[in-house]
Each structure stands twice: as C-alpha cells, then as structure tokens.
Amino acid sequence: MSQKEGIKNLIQCHCVLPQYRDRKDPIFHKFVVFSIQNETGDFIPKIVRCNNCDVTHKVTDFCKSEIIHGSENILSVITIDEIKNHLGERISSVLEGNNCDLPTWENVSFIIDNEMWGKHVIISKTKMSDSTQIKVIRIIGIDRFKVETHLRQDDVIGGSSLI
C-alpha cells in the first residue's frame, strides 16, 4: 500500500434499540464509523461515540472497538460542525441537504485532504423493490464536485438482497 485508505465500517455497541428491548436474544446496536489505514497498511485507532447511547468507543481495527468507561466528558471526538468549518460552503450544503452522518462527512474530508480526486462517497440511498437508487458525491478537486445518481439492480439470493 502506498497511500492512505479510508473506509466506513460497523462497530457494535452494548446498547439495544428500543424496538429490540423485549427480545429474548437482544440485538445489539451497530453504528457506522470512518476509519483510516496509513501508507504501510496499519490501522489508525480513534475515539468515537455511539450514535444511539453516546457511549465512547476506542476503535482499534476495522469493525472492532473497546468501550471506554468513565469517558463521558471526552471532548476530543470530532463533530460535523468542526468538519463543516473545514470544507467549503457548497459541499457542506450538499452534505447537510442529504442529512449525511458524521462518517460521511469524515470520508469527504479525507478525500479532499488527501487530494484523492475522482473518488466518490455515497450520500444517500433509497431501496425500491428489486433495485436501489444511490446518490454519490464525486470529489473532482478543491471545492469542485459532482453529484450523481445511479439506479442499481439488487442481486437477490435466497430472498435477501445484497447491497
């Protein structure tokens, strides 16, 4: 690997969403985080907060984290407003208009900071019967981007779709 790579991945928390609380076998909440590998392929750990219960996690690898107890007052977690101040007004407006989550903002910022022109990020998707409409923002340059939509056919295997 010769360049940094960024990827969205799922982290599991210990909290349970309200609709699953009465189940015998609770389904723990999972949330998306944006993670980075450096030029040599090493994972860069980071601190994040669960988007459901606000518990602090130390992300130690892709899809792996440790809960940090007694860390309710940690202020070093990045916020959308802080990223928004770094990005241009036009691109921030597109991300806000599509109600993008923190990992999406981080992903766009990462692409711009590392001048990975031509890369894209999914900013919304809508499932429609056997297909999915996705909207992406393609980063062309500093404060240059293009919003595109694509309709993709979902592959259905055994009654479940692969997206």
Q: pLDDT tens digits, residue range 21-70?
A: 888 888 999 999 999 999 998 999 999 999 999 899 999 999 999 998 87
pTM of the model: 0.85
- Report which DSSP code applies to 106: H
The answer to whether 90 and 97 have CB atoms below 8 angstroms apart is no
Could you give the CA distance from residue 31 to residue 49 in angstroms, rounded to a whole number? 9
In DSSP terms, which residues pair with 3 in a beta bridge?
none
Q: What are the residue ranges spanned by the domains of the chain?
A: 1-77, 78-163
Which tokens in the block code for residue 142? Answer: 């500093």
Three-state SS at 93: helix
The model's pLDDT over 53-112, given as tens digits with 9 standing for 90+, comes to 989 999 999 999 999 887 566 667 889 999 998 898 999 999 999 999 999 999 999 999
Work out the burial of residue 80: count CB atoms within 10 Å of its CB; fewer than 13 is exposed, 13-18 middle, 19 or more buried: middle
